[in-house]
Amino acid sequence: MSFLAILASLNPSFAGDGFTVIPSTATVLDRDSLDFFHFFGSSRLRYEFGDLEGLDPSTLGSLRTRFGVETASVGGFKFLAEGEHMWALTDTDHYRAFPGFAPANRTVIADPDNLQLNRLQLSYDLSPLQTTITAGRQSIVRADERFIGSVGWRQNDQTFDAVSLENQSFDDLTFSYAYIDQVNRIFGTNAPISSLEAWDSDSHLLDLAYSGFENDSVRAFAYLLDFDNSPANSVDTYGLELQGTRALGGSSKLKYLLTGALQEDGGANPVDYREYYLRGEIGLSHGIGNIGIGTEVMTSDGAGGRFLFPLGTNHRFNGYADAFLTTPVDGLVDSYAWVGTEAFGWNHTATFHCYNTENNRTELGWEVDYVASRKLCDSADLIFKGAYLDGKGPQEDLTRASVEVNFTF
């Protein structure tokens, strides 16, 4: 059956004789019209340095390019395809792309050479019910990506072979659901083992967000993750999040966020546990400046059970040095403060972290992060990022730095 015939069978308002939609008034789209296709792309040129105490430092110059096409809506249907290529420009012997694999004496920078289909999806907009359904390889992001994200910092995205739904039929209420059949991980198609390339999944994501309060919004979520080839990451997480903003006069605003979650073993996870997550932040912005403090807690029983974020964009949390992408065996308490401003045409943000284990309060050290970014033009920006972790106890020192230029077209 042709693609047009499939569309016609799914939506009676779609006629298979060319791109003709027949509601009350007929509309014809020319097959050859470029207006029907939207071509897009991006590239990222980056140099990154990583140095974990006890290992040799790693350096990597890399170029990632993406090209894609998205169609206009036809009877509510849209099609999107996007390819991705990651090219290591410097000597691949000078860094380690895959944790646990050679060269074992090098610090990990998880950006291997890669060529793959990044996204391939068909979406359907059911306008009367304010519902969108998307099927295929896609990006799925929830809130600030603490639990579910694309890991966009790395050159290769995390994507999902999934069916997802978003419904906004009721005022100020958004319901989102996704069934994930496969997680396509950041290590790409050349990963040395299958579990680094992809996780075979039977997972469900549910979110319910309400924004009808004057200054606040609340979100409830349940993420039921089950991975056949990574049972240790099979977890069920249930949580509630509140965030809000208060005007203090002039351009001053107070912002806050509170998150609490419970996590239990799921699927065939070999560890029987129940752990908790707590996060609180409060920040003040005024004009071009902002400051804030926060604490994030991931509990542990010290016997194998610890709160995990298998699908989160974990680089955004617990320091840019990436020392705690996986929660330590004894859990983690991250107390942090930040300050940001605009100066000399750049956006600047500095963050200070103090780390301890949750289970026995062992000191793990402190970290300072700095990010500076600026627009070069409408389609390009420049970003510098640096992090230094002064490790204590079982945690070793770790330094990371990068500079990158991003282009979109």
The CATH number given to whatever domain includes residue 104 is 2.40.160.10
Q: How many domains does the chain have?
A: 2
Both 21 and 143 in one domain: the answer is no
Q: pTM, whole model, 2 decimals?
A: 0.90
Do 93 and 194 lie in a common domain?
yes
8-state DSSP, 148:
S
One domain for residues 62 and 47: yes
Q: Where are the alpha helices (DSSP H) in 198-244?
A: none
Query: Which residue reads 């019209």 in tokens?
Result: 33
Same domain membership, residue 389 and residue 361: yes
Same domain as 72, residue 131: yes
Angle at 80 between CA 74 and CA 85, to 5 degrees: 165
Which value, to the nearest 10 degrees, does the dihedral of the CA atoms of residues 349, 111, 114, 82 take? -20
Claim to verify: residue 146 and residue 97 sit in the same structural domain: yes
Beta strands in 211-345 (DSSP E): 216-224, 235-249, 252-265, 274-286, 289-298, 332-343
Q: Which domain holds residue 4?
A: 1-32
Same domain membership, residue 333 and residue 300 = yes
Residues 286 and 396 in one domain: yes
Cβ(369)–Cβ(398) below 8 Å? no
- Kindly provide the residue ranges of all beta strands, DSSP E only, lying in 287-321, ordered along the sequence: 289-298
Clarify whether residues 200 and 122 are in a common domain.
yes
Local confidence pLDDT in tens for the 409 residues of the chain: 433 343 344 443 333 333 333 333 334 445 455 689 999 999 999 999 999 999 999 999 999 999 999 999 999 999 999 999 999 999 999 999 999 999 999 999 999 999 999 999 999 999 999 999 999 999 999 999 999 999 999 999 999 999 999 999 999 999 999 999 999 999 999 999 999 999 999 999 999 999 999 999 999 999 999 999 999 999 999 999 999 999 998 889 999 999 999 999 999 999 999 999 999 999 999 999 999 999 999 999 998 999 999 999 999 999 999 999 999 999 999 999 999 999 999 999 999 999 999 999 999 999 999 999 999 999 999 999 999 999 999 999 999 999 999 999 9
Same domain? For 144 and 166 the reply is yes
- Rg of the chain (C-alpha set): 23
**For the chain, what's the residue count?**
409
Question: Do 135 and 232 sit in the same domain of this protein?
Answer: yes
Q: What is the number of alpha carbons within 13 Å of residue 155 lying toward its C-beta?
A: 31
Residues 12 and 42 grouped into a single domain:
no
